[in-house]
Structure formats: C-alpha cells, structure tokens
Structure 1
C-alpha cells in the first residue's frame, strides 16, 4: 500500500503541475489524490499505528495518527466517486446551462454532506455506512464511466489520448467501486486490500503512456518546454551572430567599394572581378543569416479578426502552381472568425503544405480540413507521402533538423517556425505519421485564446487535381 500511496500522489502532482489551468486535469488529479488518501489510511491501519503502539508512543501521538487515518479514509471513500464524476463531466461536458454547470459541483456534494452529518462517524471496521453510501457512490461512478466512454473523438489526433485515459482510469476506478462499496454493503469488509494489484497495473500503464505517447498533455508540456528552450537559444545565438556579422559585412562592403572604385579608376579588370566576388560573398553571407534570423526571432503578432477558412483558401491559391500532380481535397468549416496574425498563420500553413508537397515528390493527395470541437478549432494537413519513422518524428520540430538532403537553402526551420507561431497564439502543433501511409499535421487553436466567434455558414468541400 505504501507503493500505491507514493505512486498515486506522484501521479496527482504530475497531472496538476502539467496544466494548472485545465479543469479536466484538476479533477483527474483529485481522483488520483483520493485514491492515494485511501492508501494512506491503509498504511496507517496496517503498519504505522501498530508500530506506534508496539514502540510505546504516547496516547496523544497515537490519537493524532488515528485521526489522520479517519480523515484519509473519509477523503478516499467520499472523494473518489465525487471527483471521478466531475472529471467525467468536464471531460465530456453535459448540455446544461452555464449557471447549472457552475452549481453542479455544490449539488453533487449534498449526498456527502448528508452522510457525514446523519450517519455514524468513522470506525476502523465501518469507516462509512456502506449500505447508504452505495446508493449515490455507485451511480456517480457508473454515470462517470459511461460519460467517458461515450466521448466522441472528432479528430484522430486525440483518439489515442482518449483510449489511454480509458485504459488508465476506468479499470482501477471500477474495480475500486466493487471492492470499496459493493462488497462491503453485503458485509464483505476490508476488500480494499485487493485494490493494490489493479491500481499498480494502472500506474504501470500510466508511466508507459506518459513516456511513449503522453497523457493529459503531460508529455506535450515536456516537449513544449524543450522546444521553447531550444528556440530561445537559437534566437539568442542568431541575434548575436547577426549583429556581429552585419557590422563586419558592412566594413567589408565599405572597403570593397573603395577597392572597386580604385580598380575602375586604374582599369585593373582582374582586381575588379576579385572585388565583385568578395562583395557577392558578403551579400550572400548576410542574406543567409538574415533568413535564419527571420525564422527564429521572437515573433510580434499583429492580431486581426480573420475568417480562418478564407485564410486557408487564400493561402492554398498561392501554392496551386507547385502542386503539379498533387490532388487537393479541402473540407473547411466556414464562418469562424478569430483574432490571429493572418500573415504568420498563412506562412506557417504554407511551410507545412510545401513540406507535404516536397515529401510526395509532386504526386499524391493532399487533404486540408478545418474542423471544430467544443473548445478548439483544428486545421489538419494530411499527405500521402512516405511518412516518418518514430526517431524522425521526435526531431522534426528541432531547429536545423531536416530530412531534405542536397539543398543549401533549406535550414530545417519550417516546422519549428510553424510551432513557434502556434505557441504565440497559445495553440498547439501536433503530428502523426506512419511509414508508407503519410503524415498528418494538426494546428489546434483554443477558441478562448483566439476569441473565436461563429458567423452563419456551412461546410465546404472541394476536391481538385492540379496538374
């Protein structure tokens, strides 16, 4: 049980710290914390209190430990179904009025308050009145489980996270429901000792999922911080380098112009050609560095209210000449006006499209969709190119990493730039790729962050072959 205590509270801390503003993380962390409180009560009951009595600890200290056990046990029994149901409601929101949703957490507390006030207080044998608590705790958990399972994933990029949540959260909670509430209501007490194995399995799945795919945004948060740190380092370095080389390049041009004038005046053709070579080299050097600097400098957004579907269509018109034999399919949910920087978003989308076309070597199918969920707008760019292996997927957002060999003009900054633009809009860039199938890149805009407002419109679908 000590392992369960440490594991569940560590998981609660990870989930809470990963995104402090997400309600879904708040309540899922509360589920893990409630389970850990039950493990603490079990450790006190089975280990610490007997050890304290055997060691001759004074009665006051023993009484404090007993009260801690009582509080921990009640937090677990009452907190688990309550926090689990609220997690499920936040995870798959109910169609209720805003006012009712705000009061729902207080309404769901009523059975708990009534049980605390009107049922016998905690004892080691009967910590709660199981035959009464079962009538609200079990419905809370069952309704929450159904609510989670019924969540419809509109986007493939989120389906994996959904099933990870179902695998990590539902089996331990449902098992604990049977062992902690159902069996004790029939007189089969202390069945919670069997929870260790199922909770341990859930913890294992959580750890594997966390480091393999990410869980509730935790892995995404870790990757974001790594990419942000890398971009800051590159930005700082190129800014310093750009300043230093710009000054030296200016000196080179100044003295080269003087030498050029002297060569013309004295009619030294060979010297003139050499000076022109030096001038061209200095201009090329400065131009290349400026191109890197423009892609990595800290972006200053110029926000405008923009129709996102129209912006996508305008961006794609500029890429029609390079599509060649790529068949373009678009499906855009129209009417969403957002406060974004249209130039930066268009440039980011263009980089992704250019990468997709280049990956398909001018022949294949390109799908561009604009979809919506309850809280987000999602642009998906999907190609039928060769796809990427897992090791490449982990590097493509790192500045200067590129899979395109033989090009001295590609710095591997297209996707990092697009990621940087999305972070500035408080959004997210995500991707999925499979060798031999293709790559999908998702630009996710939180509706609240971009002040998204819906005007009347419909879904437009268009398929065309550009040859």
Structure 2
C-alpha cells in the first residue's frame, strides 16, 4: 500500500504540474490518482503506522489525529474517485462546452455531498457502500462508454494511439476498483480466501500499470519524458536568429528558382516571362523582410501578434507561393477548404508554419515522381484541423520519434538545419493548438494542425 500511495501521488503531481495547462482532462486524471493515493495512505495509517506508534508508546493525541486522518482519507478516496473518473471522461471526450461542463461538474458532485449524510464517521468509518454502488455504477459505465467512443471515433492516428493508452490504463483501473472493492463492500462479501487474495490482485494489477506506464508511456508521460525534453530543447533553441535563418533558407530557394527562370527568359529575350518571374520572387523577398522585423533579440521567444484573419486566405496565400515550384516538378496539389473560417491568430507565423509544411512535402517527393500533395481543412468535433498530406518517401519510425526535436532533420543535405517542425510546434503551442504527424516509409506523410475552439471566431 505504501508503494501505491507514493506512486499514485507522484503520477498525479507530475500530470498536474506538467500537463494540466494544455490538457484540462489531465486535472481530473490527477484527481483520480490523488484519490488512489489518499485511499492507500488511509490503509497505511490504519494497518501500519498507528499499530507501530502504539507499540512504541507514542502519545494518544498523535494516534487519535492519525486515526481521524485515516477515516477522512478513506471517505474522500472512496467517494470522490467515481466523480473524478466521470469528469475526466467528459473532458477527455469533449462532449460538452466549458460553461455546460462547469454546471455538469456541480450537478454530478451532488451524490458525493449526499454520501456525507449517509456516512457514520465515529468511532469508526461506516460508509454506506450500497448507496455508493448505486450511483458509482452509472458513473463508471458512462465514463467507459465516453472514453471508448472517443477512441473509436478518432480519425487522427497519432491522437488515436494516445487515446488507446488512456483506454487501456484508465478503464481497467477504475473497473478493477469497482469489481473488487465496491461490489464486495456493498454486498458485504467476507469470504476469507477472497479477502486474502484481494491485496495480491491489486498489487499485481498496479505493478502491471507501472510497467505499462514506463514502457509505453501514457497521458504524455514516458520514461524519457519526451514531451518535457522537447519543451526544454525548444526553450534552448528559441533564438529568433535560428527561426530567421530557416525562413531565409526556404525563401532563398524560391527566389533562386524564379530568377533562374528570369535569366533564361532574358536570354530568349522574352521580357514578359522574365517580368512575371521577377514579380513571383517579390513576395518571398517581402516575407523575409517581414520576418526580420519580427526578430527583436537573439533569444526572443515567439510572441503572437493576434488579429482576426480568414484561415482560408492564409492557406491559399501559402499555397500560391509554391505554384511555380509545384508546376516545375509536375506535382499535383489538391486543396479542400471550409467556408468562412475566421480565427484569432498571427497570420504571419501561421503562414510560415504552412509554408514549412508545404516545403517539406515538396522535398519529400522525388523529382520526376509526379507526386500528390493534399491540403485539407476540416472539423473534428469543436476543433478545426488543417492536414497537409504528401505521397513522398515517408519517415522511418525511428526518425518519427525525433522529428520535432530542434536541429534534427531527416534530410541529408547539410543546408537543412532541422528547425522547420520544431518551429511549427512552437507556433502551434503559442496558439494553444497541437501538431500531429503520421508517416509510412514509401507511402507518404501526413501532418495535422489542430486549432482549439477558442481560436475560432466564425465557421460556416
């Protein structure tokens, strides 16, 4: 029980500190862990600490205080856990808006309050386990349905994999408590063999839980703590000059391409074609100039200049900048947009993200392959998602785990500095959004930008 207490407390705290700002469902998951933690602590106090104190002649006042703590910890662990699980599932599945969620949180807390009046606290804790079973049963089963439905209906494979981890860990955890704790307590099952094997069942189950957490990683946590390592790397890398360097590299390629066309046109004395090529290069030059203005200091972090912008316009403008390159390489591009998507965003930085992704997609397609790039804007529940998919060479599984790291690049060219995707991650994080990447070697890569509801002003 001591192990369960400490591990649950540590997991809850790590989740709360590192992930709660970006993912509200994590707060409820942390509360679930704290419920398990204080429940285990109650047993430790009652079965280990208090008897040890009595044997060593510790003052009765201290023993009485610890006894009271064990009573209230046990009550809170038993009563709040079903509520925390259901609220986690509701937030995880995004089944309601924030205002309704707050009202729902209050309504669903009523059974917990009623438990206070149906519980005898003195001299020993006497919980009404039958009443607890009556209301925790629908709570647990509705939570199971919501978590399973959220995983089953998820289209993005990266997010679906993360949700599968939640499904594998969270559901068995609370259903185990329900089957081996709530039901026997409600029906007062006191079979000695069952009671003796119960700690073994919980111990083995919890050990498997720990092993799974450390080996596969769940809820954004891994042994390597990849997400936190990425954030630290990005803070180290957050030099404005690095971002500017990457921007210039991308734009110089386009400028060089158009000026080569202009040179060939001039040699053929085709002044109209030369003029068109030079005009096509001007937006790239202006973009570099605009980005230079944004870089104020050597270590400046990304700061958004937000205003209301049409996301379709940002996408189309970004695509238009690559029309010449796409046409020259005989790449087919398909663009599918929604109507009138107005967002609160930084159009310059967001445009740079889209250009980075388009540039990566073009470079992933071998010259002469006549590849395909799909740009799709669509809804996922309350969010808006922008997906850029290519039919290029793809990314290996080993490289895919490192693709967001600053300065890591899958491209062998030494001129590629590996800043593109980490920059995209940083910009999307500043917009409270996410970046999800899936790839198959030899088939292609898909990058999905997820924009939260609070960023969307209007959407037809």
Fold similarity call, TM over 0.5: yes
CA contact (8 A) 2:366 2:393 kept: no
Matched, 1:179 2:184: no
Q: Which runs of 5+ in 2 are unaligned?
A: 245-288
CA contact (8 A) 2:243 2:423 kept: no
1:247-396 to 2 correspondences below 5 Å = 298-299=301-302, 301-323=304-326, 324-362=329-367, 363=369, 364-396=371-403
CA contact (8 A) 2:118 2:127 kept: no
1:27–1:49 distance in 2 versus 1, CA, 3 Å? same
Deviation at 1:197, TM superposition (A): 2.1
Deviation at 1:74, TM superposition (A): 0.6
Deviation at 1:199, TM superposition (A): 2.6
1:403–1:237 distance in 2 versus 1, CA, 3 Å? closer
Distance in 1 of aligned mates of 2:107 and 2:242: 55
Distance in 2 of aligned mates of 1:104 and 1:70: 28
Matched, 1:132 2:131: yes
Deviation at 1:19, TM superposition (A): 3.0
TM-score by length of 2: 0.77
Q: Which runs of 5+ in 1 are unaligned?
A: 240-286, 457-467
SS at match of 2:418: coil
Aligned to 2:256: none
Distance in 1 of aligned mates of 2:418 and 2:379: 30
1:137–1:359 distance in 2 versus 1, CA, 3 Å? same
162-171 or 434-443, larger mean C-alpha shift? 434-443
1:46-195 to 2 correspondences below 5 Å = 46-95=47-96, 100-121=100-121, 127-151=126-150, 152-189=153-190, 193=199, 194-195=201-202
Deviation at 1:318, TM superposition (A): 2.5
1:197–1:340 distance in 2 versus 1, CA, 3 Å? same
SS at match of 2:43: helix
1:142–1:397 distance in 2 versus 1, CA, 3 Å? closer
SS at match of 2:309: strand
| Aligned residue among 197, 204, 219 for 1:197 | 204
Deviation at 1:100, TM superposition (A): 4.9
1:20–1:420 distance in 2 versus 1, CA, 3 Å? closer
Distance in 1 of aligned mates of 2:352 and 2:56: 71
TM-score by length of 1: 0.76
399-408 or 309-318, larger mean C-alpha shift? 399-408
CA contact (8 A) 2:242 2:419 kept: no
Distance in 1 of aligned mates of 2:446 and 2:402: 16
CA contact (8 A) 1:11 1:32 kept: yes
CA contact (8 A) 1:74 1:127 kept: no
Deviation at 1:348, TM superposition (A): 1.9
115-124 or 170-179, larger mean C-alpha shift? 115-124
CA contact (8 A) 2:79 2:115 kept: no
SS at match of 1:333: coil
CA contact (8 A) 1:165 1:215 kept: no
Deviation at 1:54, TM superposition (A): 1.9
| RMSD over equivalenced CA pairs, Å | 3.1
Matched, 1:397 2:404: yes
SS at match of 1:147: helix
Distance in 2 of aligned mates of 1:157 and 1:110: 37
Q: Report the structure number with the largest CA radius of gyration.
A: 1
Deviation at 1:399, TM superposition (A): 4.0
1:73–1:187 distance in 2 versus 1, CA, 3 Å? same
Count of matched residue pairs: 398
CA contact (8 A) 2:364 2:392 kept: yes
CA contact (8 A) 2:38 2:74 kept: yes
1:407–1:413 distance in 2 versus 1, CA, 3 Å? same
Aligned to 2:453: 447
1:18-57 to 2 correspondences below 5 Å = 18-21=18-21, 22-57=23-58
SS at match of 1:325: coil
CA contact (8 A) 1:28 1:87 kept: yes
SS at match of 2:351: helix
SS at match of 1:70: helix
